[in-house]
Structure 1
Amino acid sequence: MKKVSILVPAYNEAAYIVQTLQAIRRHVPCQELIVIDDGSSDQTSELAGGWADQVIRLPVNRGKGAALKTGWREARGDVLLFLDSDLRESAMHANHLLHPVKAGWCDMAIAKLPSPKRRAGFGVAKAVARHGIRYLTGFDPTAPLSGQRAVRREVLESLGRLDDGFGIEVAMTIDALRAGYRLLEVPVHFCHRESGNNLAGFLHRGRELIAISRSLGVKWREGR
């Protein structure tokens, strides 16, 4: 039987982390649940400690990619499941993402989330990621930025250089496809906090776009 490690990167998620971890504990069987606190200044680590098997606390905020890489180096599972910390009760649906990998149908399963209740931004980051992946691999993803993924350890061990920030999913997708692994996008009824059409939301999406563009540039140079 394949062992499952669940990795939850978190940054200042005290408002949501307990609900997310409770849902995982109640509904998603796993051998270990690891939270990677990416330099939070709130009580994320303390709250997570009551539910996670291990809390890795980074001294400073290094970015989502760095947090995930730190976590999977510590994980012992044959299958690793990445879940965002703000999924709250919807994290209970993670078995739908795990099953295709555990059953051998694919090497990496990527969650396709329902359409957001409100439109935020102009979809530039997603469009850049989608077209970049298609140009570099021929694969046309519908969820190029989804951070909810189940993946076999072997895939992770084969990956090249990955972005420390929000570009990690794009780079992971490209590397896995180039190595010949099978990817499957799976509809899962996850929901998470949506960024708004305010200054904070636009700044977040701007940082995301920069990281995605950086990752695409790196993978383009590697593939030349």
Structure 2
Amino acid sequence: MTISVILPAKNEAEGLRRTLPSLRALMPDAELIVVDDGSTDDTAGVAANLGAKVLSSPYSMGNGAAIKRGARAASGEVLVFMDADGQHDPSSIDGLLAKLDEGFDMVVGARDWSGQAGVHRGAANAFYNWLASRMTGFDVKDLTSGFRVVRAEKFREFIHLLPNGFSYPTTSTMAFFRSAYAVAYLPIPVAKRLGKSHIRPLRDGVRFLLIIFKIATLYSPLKLFAPTSATFFLIGLAYYAYTFATDGRFTNMSVLLFSAAVIVFLIGLISEQITALTYRKD
């Protein structure tokens, strides 16, 4: 089983000086790929001097874009994705690979609360995990972890679905669940990152909100649209009962709410069919 380790990196020269030597010592035969996402420091030079294959971008395209470029260029049968900022311990890879050998298609390194980058991020990730667990029926331990091992052939099936931004872990995980590929979680330690985080709470607040909807629509859109439709219908029914009891009439607002319930439900049915076509493998 050949292995390729892919590290997306943007201004991570300091982290690579710690991560790459450890990776090479632990996995001398693995292919190491550093995807330089438009760095302004010496990320590419450090990676090349430490023996990694470097894919450089002339400008920043995003974490997900770096993952896609690395996955396309990798030659290994198994892909290992990890951060270049020193948070992920290369010694954890052996445990992830051992779990993969048990018959899984993806194994994700799951962080505990102490491994989250702040209380707000931890609370948001806990909510994502809960929502994904409800949607899939599986116990999702860490939906947004970027430390994972996957079978290359199966991961490449979903490259066209991956966004260029930071939510590639969410998208790939839900795609594997949707396609009935086996996913496992393994607890991992997480160190404090070197350098500054590229995530900005205000700028990325909308992005995290969109992730919530993406979780639902990637797996089963009707599970999102059906309850929304039912909510509109029940509100319309309650408002109609109120206006009939007080004024003895059926109002335009009730018509609007009932119409919204029907429209939302039909959109859910169409989305369900589109999602099924998206995951069809010819």
TM-score by length of structure 2 reads 0.69
Which fold has the larger relative contact order, with Cα–Cα distance below 8 Å and residues 6 or more apart in sequence? 1
Q: What is the aligned partner in structure 2 of residue 110 from structure 1?
A: 108
Distance 1:187 1:16 in 2: 22
Segments of 5+ residues of structure 1 without an aligned counterpart are: none
Report 1:1-224 matches (<5 A): 2-87=1-86, 90-101=89-100, 103-116=101-114, 120-122=118-120, 123-159=122-158, 161-193=161-193, 202-203=201-202, 206=205, 209-210=208-209, 212-213=211-212, 215-216=214-215, 219=218, 220=221, 221=271, 222-223=274-275
Tell me which structure has the larger Cα radius of gyration: 2
Q: Which amino acid aligns with 2:119?
A: G
User: For the Cα contact (< 8 Å) 2:61–2:164, is it kept in 1?
Assistant: yes
Q: Which has the higher helix share?
A: 2
Q: Which amino acid aligns with 1:34?
A: I
Which secondary structure does the structure 2 equivalent of 1:46 belong to?
helix
Distance 1:5 1:117, change over 3 A: closer
Task: Give the Å deviation of 1:89.
Answer: 7.8
Task: Give the Å deviation of 1:134.
Answer: 2.6
Distance 1:63 1:213, change over 3 A: farther
Cα displacement string for residues 59-106 of structure 1 (whole angstroms, at most 9, x for unaligned residues) = 1111111100010000011000001101268223221112222x2431
Distance 2:117 2:166 in 1: 20
- Root mean square deviation, CA, Å: 2.8
Equivalent residues, number: 220
Identity %: 30
TM-score by length of structure 1 reads 0.85
Segments of 5+ residues of structure 2 without an aligned counterpart are: 222-270, 277-282
User: For the Cα contact (< 8 Å) 1:167–1:212, is it kept in 2?
Assistant: yes
User: For the Cα contact (< 8 Å) 1:125–1:208, is it kept in 2?
Assistant: no
Distance 2:175 2:115 in 1: 32
